Structure 1
């Protein structure tokens, strides 16, 4: 029996991945009782941003974020304060550029940043603490003094992870440090503030 399944294992794994990717789209974002902008500081934050790939810094600068009723507004600045990218991100993940430098028009950074910020600030499981859709599992731990974690897995394989540190909070904008990791791309996005 084991000899028979051995040649089928890659095919079954591929079929599982295709089935998970072909699932009907449903928003994993739960509808909060209050708008996401409701926080002690109005939802506006200035972060130091660092993007690492394979442990090497690829970008360092500043990121301004503002939570809005329908998503997230953000501005990416270089180290000297020059605006590189200004955009809105809807709760459903729609990226709407407002202003971006020409060098970013065919670059992967705007898409990566939008996807990462959506996972950091906007996504919440529809059912606490975990939401499952066949092989795809999306979880968010309760906030504690040690921090909070949010992650997605396809079966046993990690897809991405967000770790929040600093003062306990229910909204991502109240944390002092956030690390988003995509192990498949070997990319880490770090957000820190004082």
Structure 2
């Protein structure tokens, strides 16, 4: 019984994300243009807990993000540094209490800044930490980080090839079972 369990874990560890192929899109193309507007949804696929607009501005010092509700009221403004450091500039008290600044800052860093790294192979192994960036067989672009056979977080990108400006038209960040999904759709 224990040998079978160890064999399953070993196979899962060795296989990892080998189903990915090398992507033609580089991590640098995942950043949106200098200024962009996104529809933001936080929650499960069927039941969003929060919906709003997200305005992003990319600068040399990172990402500046502003979250607006449907009426245009600014709920949150923050800067996310290239290293993932989050600096909250303004946030309504209820937004701060719910932990949205840290959740959104970490999510945006993982989606746009955290480079799983484009290499000649889709996955890199650093002891038990595995970083993957590549395309699945159905053409979806995936970036993920795992620990051993367990996936810590993953981002699925929607690449709009019909647009005149190349890049990401949407992204879904999945950070685990009990953490809500973070979905972005380009406006």
CA distance in 2, matches of 1:105, 1:142: 36
Deviations 1:130-188 (A, max 9, x none): 333321111111699934110111111111110111325xxxx9211111112232421
Tell me if the contact between 2:43 and 2:182 (Cα under 8 Å) persists in the aligned partners: yes
* Correspondences of 1:56-67 after superposition (within 5 Å): 56-67=47-58
The residue that corresponds to 1:105 in the other structure is: 96
Aligned length, in residue pairs: 159
* 2:49 is the alignment partner of 1:86: no
How far residue 190 of structure 1 moved from its aligned partner, in angstroms, is: 1.0
* Correspondences of 1:123-134 after superposition (within 5 Å): 123-126=114-117, 128=119, 129-134=122-127
* Correspondences of 1:166-181 after superposition (within 5 Å): 166-168=159-161, 174-181=167-174
Deviations 1:94-118 (A, max 9, x none): 1001111122333221111111100
- TM-score when scaled to structure 2? 0.73
The runs of 5 or more residues in structure 1 that have no matched partner are 10-35
CA distance in 2, matches of 1:91, 1:143: 27
Deviations 1:63-95 (A, max 9, x none): 011111121111011111110000100010110
* 2:20 is the alignment partner of 1:49: no
CA distance in 2, matches of 1:192, 1:2: 45
- TM-score when scaled to structure 1? 0.70
Residues 1:55 and 1:154: Cα distance change in structure 2 (over 3 Å) = farther
When structure 1 is superposed on structure 2, of 157-166 and 142-151 the one drifting more is 142-151
CA distance in 2, matches of 1:143, 1:167: 16
The runs of 5 or more residues in structure 2 that have no matched partner are 7-27
CA distance in 1, matches of 2:135, 2:63: 22
The residue that corresponds to 2:141 in the other structure is: 148
